[in-house]
Amino acid sequence: MKKLEIIIRPEKVAAMKLLLNECNAKGAMFTRISGYGNQRGKKFTYHGTSYFENIFQKTKVETVVDEETANLLIKRVLEEIATGEVGDGKIFVSDISDVIRIRTGETGIQAL
């Protein structure tokens, strides 16, 4: 099993939900986050005063899926979510050794 942590632009959340459904992901968590990376920031002028903003709003999508679904989801994110501009986000992939559903005690893929 793989855990995907996908950092995307907030305006791509609806498209991301569709991709998760199309790829048969059993569930996901969406979290609003702030951060910075290669975008470097933007300079703004307000009432004659210059401001530099280098913290940007993003959405973090977390899901745990089997390896085949992970590969499909990564492929689809690269095709559908990317704009080609700096700030599109990142995908972090981690191995998951086990999952346990608290209610039933099911483990592994069945717990997803």
* Assigned CATH for 2-111: 3.30.70.120
Q: What are the sequence ranges of the domains in the chain?
A: 2-111
CA pair distance 60, 70, nearest whole angstrom: 16
Give the H or E element holding residue 22: helix 13-22
b/e per residue, 95-108, with b = 16+ CB within 10 A?
A: eeeeeeeeeeeeee
pLDDT tens-digit series, residues 64-87: 999 999 999 999 999 999 999 988
CA pair distance 89, 4, nearest whole angstrom: 13
pTM (two decimals)? 0.85
Q: What is the pLDDT of residue 36?
A: 82
How confident is residue 10, by pLDDT bands cut at 50, 70 and 90? very high
Q: Considering Cα of 55, then 58, then 64, then 66, what sign does the dihedral take?
A: negative
